[in-house]
Structure 1
Amino acid sequence: MLNALEVLTTVVVGLMVGVEFSVAFVINRILDALPEDSGQLGRAHGGRMLGAVMPFWYIGSLVLAAVWAAARWGDHGAGLVVAGAGLLVVSVVMSVLLLVPINNQSKQWTPENRPEDWKEQAHRWDRYHYARVAVLIAAFTLLVTALT
């Protein structure tokens, strides 16, 4: 049963890392290259869509990692799982404090109501997101390493 928890946690966190990496290095670059208002409209739609799913994914990943850490407390690799879970906490705090406030505004923007500095705000979100992706990759790496 514990092995299933470890595999499930690793898969859930790994998929989340993949999605967030894709947003950072593929999807947003594609959206930024679209003509006229298409990119901004795509970012707004993505903010609404992923903004509805990601809170559950982030918290779910953290809960799974915490349960894994508690179940393996004192065993080989438990410290790695605790450190990975700690980084998942950091990613949640980063999300709530830095990324969600920008996303909550930008997901409502249209070409008619967006602020003049919308591109600067989008690029600020991107910079915070790059940092969050690095934290998530580090957490995932620790969790995978704990399996060995």
Structure 2
Amino acid sequence: MLNALGIVTTVIVGVMVGVEFSVAFIMNRILNALPEDSGQLGHAHGGRMLGALMPFWYVDSLVLSAIWAVAGWHHDGAGLVVVAAGLLILSVVMSVLLLVPINNRNKTWTAENRPADWKQQLHRWERYHYLRVAVIIGAFTLLVTALA
């Protein structure tokens, strides 16, 4: 049962990493290459779509990792799972404090109400997102290693 929990947790975190990696290195580049303000409108739409899903995904990943850490406390790899859960906590804190406020503003912007510094705000979000992706890749790597 513990092995199944580890596999399910690792797969869920791995898919989340894949989505966030794709946003950082594929979707953002596509959206930023669009003419004029089309990229911002695309970011806003993506923020509404993924903003509704990702909080649950991050929290579920963290909860599953914590359950795995507690259930497997006396098994090999428990320390790796604890550190991975710590990294997932960090990713949630980063999201709430750094990324969500920018995303919440961006997803309401239109051509009529967009602030003058909208490009700088989107670039700041992207920098924070790169850092968050690195954190969750670290967590995923630790979970995979704990399974091995």
TM-score, with length taken from structure 2: 0.98
Q: Distance in 1 between matches of 2:124 and 2:83?
A: 27
Structure 1 segments, 4+ long, off by >3 Å, are: none
Aligned counterpart, 1:91: 91
CA distance in 2, matches of 1:111, 1:21: 28
What code does the residue aligned with 1:56 have?
F
Which whole-Å deviations, capped at 9, do the CAs of 1:74-95 have from their partners, x for residues lacking one? Answer: 2110000000000000000000
1:59-74 to 2 correspondences below 5 Å:
59-74=59-74
Q: Mark the runs of 5 or more structure 2 residues left unpaired by the alignment.
A: none
Question: Aligned equivalents of 2:118 and 2:128: distance in 1?
Answer: 15
Matched, 1:50 2:20: no
Find the counterpart in structure 1 of residue 147 from structure 2.
147
Question: In the alignment, residue 119 of structure 1 is paired with which amino acid?
Answer: K
1:26-84, CA deviations, whole angstroms, 9 ceiling, x for partnerless residues? 00110000112211110000000000000000000000000000110021100000000
In structure 1, the residue matched to 2:23 is 23
Q: Which amino acid aligns with 1:53?
A: L
RMSD after superposition:
0.6
The 2-side partners of 1:96 and 1:74 are apart by 32
Partner amino acid for 1:72? G
What letter matches 1:109 in structure 2?
W
Q: TM-score, normalised by structure 1?
A: 0.98
Q: What is the aligned residue count?
A: 148
* Unmatched runs of 5 consecutive residues or more in structure 1: none
- Alpha-carbon offset, residue 134 of structure 1: 0.4
Report how far residue 7 of structure 1 moved.
0.8
Task: Give 1:29's aligned amino acid.
Answer: R
1:97-116 matches, within 5 Å, as 97-116=97-116
Equivalents in 2 of 1:30, 1:54: separation in Å? 21
